Amino acid sequence: MRDDDQNSQTRDKRVVREVASSELMRGENELLIRHGDELYRLKLTRNGKLILQK
């Protein structure tokens, strides 16, 4: 097997981290997220949906 094939298989098997929204929100309805120089607002609606606003 070529090195490129092995690297591709290794990347495909990595696990994506999962976080519960309740862990992020901690009982609040809004959360500010800094990404680089930008600030985003994550809001929990009355219907239990999440909205991400820039």
- What residue ranges do the domains of the chain occupy? 3-53
Token pair, residue 46, equals 């009355």
Q: Is the pLDDT of residue 45 over 80?
A: yes
Mean pLDDT of the chain: 89
**CA–CA gap between residue 35 and residue 33 (Å, rounded):** 6
Q: Which residues sit opposite 34 in a β-bridge?
A: 39
Q: What's the pLDDT at 3?
A: 63
Q: Is the pLDDT of residue 27 over 60?
A: yes
Signed CA dihedral, 1, 14, 37, 43: sign only: positive
Q: Is the pLDDT of residue 31 over 70?
A: yes
Mean pLDDT confidence for 28-51? 98
Among 37, 25, 19, 44, smallest CA distance to 54 is for 37
Q: Which CATH number fits domain 3-53: 3.40.50.2300, 2.10.70.10, 3.40.640.10, 3.30.930.10?
A: 2.10.70.10
Mean pLDDT confidence for 19-39? 97
